[in-house]
Amino acid sequence: MNLYEDLKWRGLIGQYAGEGFIDELNKGGLTFYLGIDPTGKSIHAGNFLTVMGVMRLSRAGHKPIILVGGATGMIGDPSGKSQERNLLDKETTMNNSSSILAQVKKLLPEAEFVNNYDWTSNMDVITYLRDYGKHLTIGYMMAKESVKKRLEAGLSYTEFSYQVLQALDYYHLYKNHNVRLQVGGQDQWGNITSGFELIRKMEGEKANVYCLTFPLLLKPDGTKFGKTAGGAVWLDPSMTSEYKFYQFWLNTSDEEVIDRLKQFTFLSKEEVDQIEALWAVNKEGRLAQRRLAEEVTKIIHGEEGLSKAESITKAVFSGDVSALSKDEIADAFKDDVVVEVEGDVSIIEALVKTGLAQSNSDARKLIQGGGVSVNSVKINDFTKVLHKEEAIDSTYTFIKKGKKNHALIKHF
């Protein structure tokens, strides 16, 4: 299977443009770039799908350049947004740029890294308007979906000019780094083709350049994963722990898991087909989900991060968190229900406070039915008191209801 066929099988071909693109893609040797705007200090699962596409192209013999948008990040891309972004100041943008560069360098150490602030920040407005702005007509720019969708809600000239700045990036890299392909998420098609158009206008119709988009990772409600859209799963472990990251992939639905294995792992077609065949026989065993979680966590957090995530997962699933350190418990449950209490608390009150029970009588029924455990020990006495000194490290008490519902009491 050649590169194009592999990307197609994995569902990673969105749109592309440029005569002879498929032959050039399969041949290898293209210098290409991906732009990432530093609107946050970390990339997320949605960005990672595109980064995985870049990694695949690099492994196939193409040369990657990663552009961090120090300039465009301060302008704000209207693509996929219902309202204008809050503009970031220079210090925040540059700090975010440094963090993102460090993340991507771990995944693509072979890549060249550039920042469009370097060639955009000193450009005077006359040069910008005369040399670049004149080549993209108002009609052409307004035909872009990212613009049309925002006209009714309101679109500032600042955002409207974003696609010119991104087009300028492609032209600059074409002239100075021999870049002939720009890649990005499907929502970037309008911006990417503006760069394609600018190069052809300035260099002539025979300029040998290409565009390629990868599909977007969508949330269950059909909206994309984003830094500001909510629900993001971050690659920075200080923002999404290794455990939470692992759990995100482990909880992939049956309908999506095989597609995710194709897109987010480097497993071959033969390996994916084998996993799918075994998983189909016993979907409750969640073999495909476990393999997906293992592979992706290993790519992002390494063997050590995967081991940490798996040990916490095992402890939480069994209800025996006593083997975990206080820091591991805090890490595992920082996004879950954690209720702080002063000193001791009754099991009834704890169940109600954490929302595991709706009322005192509901809590008693749960306990009498054998559905509650505390630090892996079944509780059948609804007069039990959770003592601070009996908590893990005199700090945490883990309460579990049934197989999947749990909460944490933090004693102070």
Q: Which of 285, 300, 409 is nearest to 345 (CA)?
A: 409
Distance between CA atoms of 301 and 245, rounded to whole angstroms? 9
Distance of CA 332 to the CA centre of its chain: 19
pLDDT over 60 at 230, yes or no: no
| Tens-place pLDDT, residues 5-22 | 999 999 999 999 999 999
Q: What is the pTM of this model?
A: 0.85
Indicate the helix (H) or strand (E) that contains 65: strand 63-68
| Tens-place pLDDT, residues 104-159 | 999 999 999 999 999 999 999 999 888 888 888 777 777 777 677 767 667 777 77
Indicate the helix (H) or strand (E) that contains 406: strand 405-411
Task: Encode 311-323: b = buried (16+ Cβ within 10 Å), e = exposed.
Answer: ebbebbeebbbee
Structure letter (DSSP) for residue 117: H
| Mean pLDDT, rounded, for 39-61 | 94
Higher pLDDT residue, 88 or 264?
A: 264
- Token couple for 254: 């049956």
| Mean pLDDT, rounded, for 372-396 | 90
Sheet arrangement for strand 338-341: 338-341, 405-411, 396-401, 372-374, 377-378
Distance between CA atoms of 156 and 13, rounded to whole angstroms? 32
- Token couple for 205: 């119709």
Distance between CA atoms of 166 and 35, rounded to whole angstroms? 9
pLDDT value of residue 106 = 95
Percentage above 70 pLDDT, the chain: 93
pLDDT over 90 at 78, yes or no: no
